[in-house]
Structure 1
């Protein structure tokens, strides 16, 4: 079963716990799940899953499909009410749109969650790369440009947890040697940008930069520009991505000072 990240274990003796377990059964790789698969992943009785899934459809947290169920847009709407992500997205969006217009490639905004990056926004390019990312989706930190930018600037404990754990190989070019990844993180901190070359999916390349808190230099989020490796050279956009990340950080700091 694909990883769902560091999701807290729900108390399945409560209705809320059962609902959370069903929602967390979906992963970034899932477009929809059959009832049988939901039963398998949750470990709950079929009748219970069927009843709760039907009720989740009624309140727009799941959609009913021909094959089963998928996460609904109602969940996205709730997620966008989260104050930190909403404020970040409002401030970052003009910079993301400018990057998209200048590069004509796919632009991402992502935040840390456990040992994964969660994509808060994705703007598709005019000739979109076949990237595995999607808004609200997750990817491991070690194999994406945006994930490595976040990992390089997070706390040492999280870095050690990633480096000491298994580094899943998603493609032949995924970095799975902790020593090599650690050296890359040093370079990312030194240069302020991270690169990916077919490490999360074949055929794509990426340049990413962290958005750092002006006050304490902690990592807030990261942005990236992704394109097909056949024609896209991420090095050409390193300065633009780094400048956009700095601009977002400065704007966040000014907004905070006005409160």
Structure 2
């Protein structure tokens, strides 16, 4: 690897990477200095600068860990307004692989909002638009997002609303957790089915990606091929902090 053009900045970035690896418990100065590959006095000065700006903090027992400013950077990076730009290449690759319509969505109350879409070259038999909203409980995107949450009976009832029952929604989400794939068939549009997966960061669903296609292309072997595409195409193209469950 080429040498950093500014060594002091590089040491600070290495320190941040190392702190991230030790998680919420953090690590003592000596352990961190060994991991970063610098002396304790040098790292102590670097950590002091990071603490001054909130990028590092000390626990009551003296260990160092990431501070709230560093955590805020990650949240800002994955903010809703950034997701379409960050994830569009993954959506495009998935659409190219499957020749199907691909959507990106997030939860907004009881609904899913479509943030981005990529259409295949062949004609699409379903109308969709960025900014469109659908009830989360009856969509593959929404079910993928809800499946990551631990919903009590009151929350299930609220999400189900008048569109389904809390009992059915619980069963659907249980199936989604078991298989790792959310789905719906002709619940929103005749002749159309969807499958989806959540994108997870630190145990929380940040967004979900779906494939929408005519029912006949989401059955049997054809469905299995599209499920495999979701699992194979997306992970290497996601930002480092996002994963599939």
Asked whether 1:117 is paired with 2:112, we answer yes
Q: What is the number of residues matched between the two proteins? A: 164
Among candidates 215, 239, 243, match of residue 228 of structure 2: 239
Aligned equivalents of 1:199 and 1:85: distance in 2?
27
- CA apart distance, 1:166: 5.3
Matching residue of 1:161: 155
- Secondary structure of the residue aligned to 2:198 is strand
Aligned equivalents of 1:211 and 1:83: distance in 2?
11
Contact 2:111 2:136 in 1 (8 A): yes
Asked whether 1:151 is paired with 2:137, we answer no
Matching residue of 1:188: 176
| TM-score normalized with structure 2 length | 0.59
- CA apart distance, 1:252: 4.2
Matching residue of 2:206: 220
Is there any run of 5+ residues in structure 1 with no aligned partner, and where?
Answer: 1-81, 170-175, 255-259
Aligned equivalents of 1:119 and 1:162: distance in 2?
22
Aligned equivalents of 1:163 and 1:127: distance in 2?
39
Matching residue of 1:208: 196
1:105–1:190 distance in 2 versus 1, CA, 3 Å: same
Contact 2:94 2:234 in 1 (8 A): no
Asked whether 1:136 is paired with 2:146, we answer no
1:183–1:100 distance in 2 versus 1, CA, 3 Å: same
| TM-score normalized with structure 1 length | 0.56
1:244–1:92 distance in 2 versus 1, CA, 3 Å: farther
- CA apart distance, 1:162: 4.2
Greater displacement, 124-133 / 140-149 = 124-133
- CA apart distance, 1:125: 2.1
Q: CA RMSD in A?
A: 2.6
Is there any run of 5+ residues in structure 2 with no aligned partner, and where?
Answer: 1-76
